[in-house]
Structures are given as structure tokens and as C-alpha cells.
Structure 1
Amino acid sequence: MDDYKRDKVMVFNDTGEEIRVALLENNILSEIFFEDIEADKNSGKIFIGRIENEVTGLEAFFVNIGMKKNGFLRFKDLVGLPNEYKRGDNVIVQVRKDGNSRKGPQLSMQINIPGNYTVYMPYGEGSIGISRKITEQSERDRIREIAEDIMYETEGLIFRTNCQGIDRETINEEVLKLRRIMHKILLDYKDSNKPGLLYSEEDFVDYVLRERLDSAVSRIVMDSKELYLKIRRKIDKIDFSPVLELKTKDSFNYYDIYLQINDIFARKIDLKSGGTITIDKTEAMTVIDIDSAGNIKGENIEETSFSTNMEAAREIMRQLRLRNIAGIIIVDFIDMYNEKHKQAIIELISYELRKDKARVTIVGFTELGLLELTRKRTSPSIDSLIYTPCPVCHGTGRVSAPSVVYNRMIQEVEDSLKELSEHDIKQVLVSIHHNLSGYVTPEIKAKLEEKTGTKIKFEFNWTDPNTYNIRYKK
């Protein structure tokens, strides 16, 4: 796997109204960030919360943080014991997972404040975490020694991949900075009594650089001189030096990123081999299906299936990052009967996971040959932030068959005229969708008028194909 070389480029685009950032691997879009969308996310933000009520059965408090929906604070995410808190108490909480249309955000009192090299946990009680991507035992031992030297007993630290090779003084300076941030949060908390925001991350550019800039990035491209100067100041402080390029025109257009953005919203994705991937999201999980389609490479069916599945596996892991898909993920690969081929798929996915900042767990193949994955959710997927459910089909992607709506409408007209027989109804006006134009013929209209003894007028001006509107005139 390691012979697969990655040319990683970070592209900043300043529209004047917002900044957008794309990450490219070998000129292929792997992640994208929009300033407006990121600003709407609450994951990582710290709030003053007020406990509204306790739900013992769920072992949680519902907490008002000044948003439309109360947050959900589980007992296991408290600092201290549940009996130390009561309704009306103010607490400092951090959003761990954004809410959605059905429920509020998931909260925690176990605060995490991220830096470039570490994540500071003021209530960590001596816990030390080291990125799994730091594999050399000597380096892990060095980092642990630094942690034990600079930490207080009540604190905790997580050492990020970027801290590899960073000296003790630099790490200590960052921890001191993060301590000062927490001290400021505590002071602001004491000065306020109203639920609301206490602390948010630094600005958008700083956030993206902190979370995505690493030694694998060879170039940073931007189309704004202001951005160029800001990023140059930032990278002067790091121990690797990506090349900076300032474009005079739209940097996204230069790298054909606009065309690739369409992939984020496509249900079906074509593979170079001729195969396809189909992605369907449900409330409970995301289901991904692979089809060999036009791929005829390989000496036999097994080899063709395996080659298509290998290509699809790499593309699927890119799509998970690109779309920010999380939760339970089921992949229906083309049937493979060779266990070595299945193991090769898992090895490829494990390799691709190195590129993903989110925690992904490979559960394995089920008895039916489906691969089960989970990807940690902290914020909504990008399509759910850009799109809202269709008001007609309510997100199902389907509408009622015209024949079903027609029969229901005719029955309702007949039944309602029977009920209103004593009210001397002269005319019925029925507004319907144009889908029913082939059903409501002059002959049908004449038969219905004869049967009900009432003049009926159909108007094809209703916008919802699932419903209709009936009015009565005396």
C-alpha cells in the first residue's frame, strides 16, 4: 500500500464573502470546507448551560444552552456525581456532537481545548493520550515524559500526530496558552448568569490550518494576498515548509474543483474501471452498493469483482471524508469467495484510514458478505447542511402514484357531496396537480357530475402531486 504516493495540496479560495478550502490528493478532491457552513456548526464550542430537568431513565440532564433545543448531557460526561447537580444549576458544557432537526446537541462537561500539537483537558485527572499514528516506541516514551513533566495532576493531555519531533519548550508553550484560554472561560462564566456561548474556536483559516495542515501537504495555494500573508505568518512557526502559491485568478477554477464538488451530492459515482458506487442515506445508516457495470477486466468473475471492489474501497473512503458521512456504514461489495481478497479489501481500507481525522472502526464482513464500518459523528454531513428535505416528498425522494391520488380525490368529492347534500352546493372547484391531467378527462368529469348532480370544475394549478384542494360554492 505504501507505494501509493500522495501529492497533497491545500487550496484556499476567497470569494469576498466567505473563504472556502479544498484538500486535493493527486489533484482529486478529498475534503472541502465552507466558512459559512463551519460557522453554523457548534461542535467544539463551549457554553454556559442551565440544567432544565433530569431524566433518570436516560441517565442524563437536559440543558439549556441558549439554542432552540436543549442539549443532552449524560451522567457519564459530568464532572463529579449526578447528585451534585439539580435543576436550575449553571454548568460549563462543550458540544461534542451537533444536533439535528429531531434532537438537540450532545454535551459534555469534560472540556477539550485543541491546539496544534496537543488537546488540553482541564479536568483530565492525569490522563495522557498519544496519537496512534505515532508508532515509534522511543517517540511515544519521549512524549509521555514531557507530559508527566508539564502536567498538573488534575489535567489531561492528548498528543496529536503533529507533535511528533516537536521539542519540550514548544509543547509547554502551547499548553500554557491553552491553560490561559480555560482561565478566561472560567472568568467569563463567573461574570455571566445567562445560557449562551462562552468560547468558540479561532477564525476559520486558523481552524483549517490547525486541523488539516501536516507534513504531507506539499503546497498551499490561495487567490488572495491577505490570505497569503496570513498563512505565511502561520507556517513560519512550523517545522516543515509547504510551498506557497498566490494565484491571480480563482484558485478553485484553476484546479477544476467546481466540477469535482458535484461528486458530493451525486447518488451514483462512476469508477474509472467502468464500475459504479451508489450511496443511499437512511435515518439509521448509510448503505453503499458496488456494481461492476462496464468493468470487464480480469480473467474470471472473481478477479473482475476483486479489482472493482479494490477501486471502490479507495473511492468509498474518500467519499466518507468528502461528504462527512458518519454513523453506521454498510458496504455491499460485489460477491467475493476468496478470503484473501476480502482481507486485501480490509487492509486497503485500514491504509486509507490514515488520511481520515475522524475515528473509523472496521467491524468486518458479515455472514452475508456485507462490510460494516462505523465513523464517529461530531457534526452533520455536508449535504444535510446545504440541503433541506423536500416539502413535497419529505425527503423520501418519492411521491404518490397519480392513480392513487386520483382515486382518493374522486372518493372524497363523492363522500363530501353526500354529507353536504342539504347545503345546496352549486359547484365544486378542485385544484389538482398536472400529473392527473391524463385521468381527469371530459368523460370522467361528465360522469362525476351526473352521479353527484353537481357542477364540478378541475383546475390544474396545485403544486403538490401528493395532495389536492376541494372548495365548495353555494
Structure 2
Amino acid sequence: MERKILLKTKGETQNQIRYVVTEDGEPVFYGVFDPMDVYGETICSVRIKERLTAHKVVFCDVGRDKPAFINNCNFLPGKMMLVQADSSEHDSKGIKFSTDIKIRGKYLVAVMHQYSSRCGLEAKISKKITDYELKNKLFNFISEYPVRRCIDMDCFCEVICRTSVAELDDLSILDDDLDMIFAEWNALLHDFSENYKTNAKVGIIKGYTDVIDYIRKHERTDDFAEIVSDCPILSHNLSETSPAFADKIKCMSEKNEFDIFTVYAVDNRLCQLMRKQVYLKSGAYLVIEFTEAMTVIDVNSGKNTVGNSLAVNKEAAAEIMRQLRLRDIGGIIVCDFINMFDSRKDRELVLYLKELAGSDTQEIYISNVSHLGLVEIARKRS
């Protein structure tokens, strides 16, 4: 499978970049990147504006039109806080923040619980690592990090080992990862204390300045064959900030008057895929409706009069899972498939959906077919 990133700046507003990730020429992920926007994992300084005691929710100011909010928080109005975005701003909802700060390393992910009553460091191992002896080694090695580095932990930190740790021959490499994580954490605390908290200033402290960095964190992969841009300055900057990808970064000639999405034949395909109705090769089609509470997807047989219901539903399932990725649809998604009146076929459809979900980079849950013939999907937004 050949994966490419296409970056379009022509015709966009200042600093904005439209991007498409393709797999064998087919768009699988689309969006608009703006370094001034707040995305998931962006770290900000906020000021609490209002507290709803009964619901343990506070609303806070981050310098946006819509108020942001933090769940399970009881701090008083006026308090300045260092927080991390759990979700981007979308529709009528403001940004959801967390007081727990997640910092990613190459092999480890650290979660800083800065307001926990506990102190210290605790290791958690990926469930995909099944070697009991290795899990014990990792747990002990990571737990002893503060002792090796003579660090006095003043907050509670969870360190999660990624699956890639199992491939390491020398665990001491993890010390470098932890050194980088704690250096970044201390730099964040210093920046917040000196430049934001003291001056009661709100805004982004650490966001995404590099579109490739953003896409890589969303896609969780580096296996791109090409990264093609329509802007020489952007291509040069990306080569500087992402040297590992320098040999893959290409720039269309400035003399080329055609839109980069047109050159790579994804513009028309995107228009087709982003409509309310998405047509399938069999003649069936999907109707995608967005509501305040959820997304509803209806599967219609359309012009398909010969295919069996399971085959049509499987074709629809594949397109639904692609649409969730392409449009970054999150929250609750209710799918109304064609009724098959057969519990065995229902189970086969759900298993197929779960198999397709394995290629999704976001957390996803798929229910069984309900008595009403509906399948519920819960997906985390990027």
C-alpha cells in the first residue's frame, strides 16, 4: 500500500493548509490545519470563569469565542491552570480540557496528574506485551527511574510502555526517553509559571506548529512514500523541521497552475465522498446526517436489486469505517443497516466492522446489532 500526504496552500487563508492522506490514490484522511487552532493534546493556559458545583464542571477562558470546559474539577473562578485539550473545538461545543498532561516519547507516554493527592511514578505496560518476564523487567526499570536520576517527584506520573518497547535489546534507551519527557514537562511548568500564570495570560503554550507532526500524531505512522506540497517555502520548512522525511518531501513546480488536489485526482473524489449521500459500487448508498447529539448513518439498497443483504451491508460497513476516518467523525454514531433477519449474519457483520476498526488510529467501540437492527459506534475524535 502506497501512502502519500498532499499539502495545499494555494487559495487558502493565511497559515492554513488543506491536507489529504491517500492510500493507493484513495483519500482516507482530510482536514484543514491552522497552527493557531487548538487540537487534541494542545497544551494551554486557561483562567476559570465559572464553576458548576453540582456537576463538578468548570468553564474557562482560553481566548476563544466559545467557553471551554473541564470535567471533574472544583477549583474556584479566577484560578490560572495548565491544561491539555482532550478534543478540538467543533460545532456548538467548546474545547474540552483535562488537567492531566500527556507527553509522548518514542517508546513511552507519560501522563502527569498534576493535581493528584499522590506523588511518585507508576509504570503501565501495553496489553499487547504478553511476555510476563519482560513486563516485570519493564515495571521495575521504569519505577526505579526517579532513584537512578535522583529526582524528587512532586506530582503523580503514569508512564505507559508502548508495544514497540518489546523490540528493544537494551532497556537503558528508555532512560533517554524519560529524560526528554521530564525535560519537556519542566519546561512547560517554567513557561506557564513565568509567562502565563504571573501575568494572568491565557492561550496556547504548546501546539502543533508543523502540519507533518500533526498528521503523524493523528495517523500514528511514518510509512509515507511521498509528502507533496504546492509551496516551495513550506517544502523547505518541512525539510528543516522534519529531517527524517527530507528525502520524501517534494514540491510541485511554481509554474504549475493546476490545483495539487486536481493533479493527484483527489478533488472530485473528495467532493463525492464528503456529500450527504455517498454512493457505493453496488448501487446502494449511505445517507450521513449530523445532529447535536450524534451522527446517524442510514444504509439504503438503492439501485441494488440483485445483491444479498449481507454483501450490501459489508460493502456499506467498509465505506462507513472509511468515512469515520476521512471526516474525523467522533462521538456516538448510529448505523441503520439493511435488516437481514438472521442473527448469524448480524454477528458476521459486527465481526467485520471490528476487523475494519483495527486500521483506525482512534479509540473505537462497536456494539452488537440491537433489537431495532441498529449498530452503535463510539469513536474518539482526533
1:71 to 65, 68, 71: 68
1:265 to 274, 286, 290: 274
2:58 to 56, 61, 66: 61
Matched, 1:340 2:367: no
Match of 1:184 in 2: 187
Gaps of at least 5 residues in structure 2 are 115-119
Match of 1:23 in 2: 21
TM-score (norm 2): 0.79
Matched, 1:206 2:213: yes
The one-letter code of the counterpart of 1:113 is: I
Match of 2:176 in 1: 173
Match of 1:358 in 2: 362
Residue 7 of structure 1 deviates from its aligned partner by 3.7
Alignment deviations for residues 115-134 of structure 1 (CA, whole Å, 9 cap, x no partner): 454333233853445556x4
Taking the aligned partners of 1:101 and 1:348, their CA distance within structure 2 comes to 31
Taking the aligned partners of 2:85 and 2:143, their CA distance within structure 1 comes to 28
Match of 2:375 in 1: 371
8 Å contact kept, 1:47–1:195 = no
The one-letter code of the counterpart of 1:41 is: V
Residue 258 of structure 1 deviates from its aligned partner by 1.1
Match of 2:5 in 1: 10
Matched, 1:47 2:44: yes
8 Å contact kept, 1:115–1:210 = no
Taking the aligned partners of 2:213 and 2:171, their CA distance within structure 1 comes to 23
Residue 311 of structure 1 deviates from its aligned partner by 0.6
Match of 2:117 in 1: none
Taking the aligned partners of 1:9 and 1:278, their CA distance within structure 2 comes to 28
Structure number with the bigger relative contact order (C-alpha 8 A, sep ≥ 6) is 2
Match of 2:79 in 1: 89
Matched, 1:349 2:353: yes
Counterpart secondary structure, 2:282: coil
8 Å contact kept, 1:277–1:289 = yes
8 Å contact kept, 2:129–2:163 = no
Counterpart secondary structure, 1:44: coil
Matched, 1:314 2:314: no
Taking a change above 3 Å as real, the CA distance of residues 57 and 254 of structure 1, as seen in their structure-2 partners, is same
8 Å contact kept, 1:139–1:165 = no
Residue 35 of structure 1 deviates from its aligned partner by 2.2
Taking the aligned partners of 1:213 and 1:279, their CA distance within structure 2 comes to 27
Residue 199 of structure 1 deviates from its aligned partner by 1.7
Taking a change above 3 Å as real, the CA distance of residues 271 and 103 of structure 1, as seen in their structure-2 partners, is closer
The one-letter code of the counterpart of 2:263 is: Y
Match of 1:278 in 2: 287
Taking the aligned partners of 2:107 and 2:24, their CA distance within structure 1 comes to 26
Matched, 1:158 2:160: yes
Gaps of at least 5 residues in structure 1 are 1-5, 299-303, 379-474
Taking a change above 3 Å as real, the CA distance of residues 230 and 89 of structure 1, as seen in their structure-2 partners, is closer
8 Å contact kept, 2:45–2:205 = no
Alignment deviations for residues 80-101 of structure 1 (CA, whole Å, 9 cap, x no partner): xx4xx43333222222223456
8 Å contact kept, 2:45–2:192 = yes
1:104 to 94, 98, 101: 94
Taking the aligned partners of 1:242 and 1:338, their CA distance within structure 2 comes to 53
Counterpart secondary structure, 1:252: helix
Residue 362 of structure 1 deviates from its aligned partner by 0.7
Taking the aligned partners of 1:215 and 1:88, their CA distance within structure 2 comes to 42
8 Å contact kept, 2:347–2:368 = no
8 Å contact kept, 1:162–1:214 = no
Taking a change above 3 Å as real, the CA distance of residues 106 and 144 of structure 1, as seen in their structure-2 partners, is same
Taking a change above 3 Å as real, the CA distance of residues 235 and 214 of structure 1, as seen in their structure-2 partners, is farther
Alignment deviations for residues 2-33 of structure 1 (CA, whole Å, 9 cap, x no partner): xxxx4433333453854333111232111013
Counterpart secondary structure, 1:364: coil
Structure with the largest fraction of helix? 1
Taking the aligned partners of 1:86 and 1:172, their CA distance within structure 2 comes to 38
Residue 341 of structure 1 deviates from its aligned partner by 2.0
The one-letter code of the counterpart of 2:323 is: Q
Counterpart secondary structure, 2:121: coil
Match of 1:330 in 2: 334
Match of 1:406 in 2: none
Matched, 1:253 2:262: yes
Counterpart secondary structure, 1:310: helix
Taking the aligned partners of 2:78 and 2:329, their CA distance within structure 1 comes to 36
Taking a change above 3 Å as real, the CA distance of residues 348 and 244 of structure 1, as seen in their structure-2 partners, is farther
Alignment deviations for residues 61-88 of structure 1 (CA, whole Å, 9 cap, x no partner): 233333334332222xx5xxx4xx4333
Taking a change above 3 Å as real, the CA distance of residues 71 and 236 of structure 1, as seen in their structure-2 partners, is closer
Taking a change above 3 Å as real, the CA distance of residues 376 and 145 of structure 1, as seen in their structure-2 partners, is same
> Which structure has the larger Rg?
1
Alignment deviations for residues 359-410 of structure 1 (CA, whole Å, 9 cap, x no partner): 11112211011111111245xxxxxxxxxxxxxxxxxxxxxxxxxxxxxxxx
Residue 227 of structure 1 deviates from its aligned partner by 5.2
8 Å contact kept, 2:122–2:143 = no
8 Å contact kept, 1:90–1:193 = no
Residue 251 of structure 1 deviates from its aligned partner by 4.2
Taking the aligned partners of 1:310 and 1:242, their CA distance within structure 2 comes to 39
Give identity over the alignment, percent. 25
Taking a change above 3 Å as real, the CA distance of residues 113 and 329 of structure 1, as seen in their structure-2 partners, is same
8 Å contact kept, 1:264–1:323 = no
8 Å contact kept, 1:120–1:178 = yes
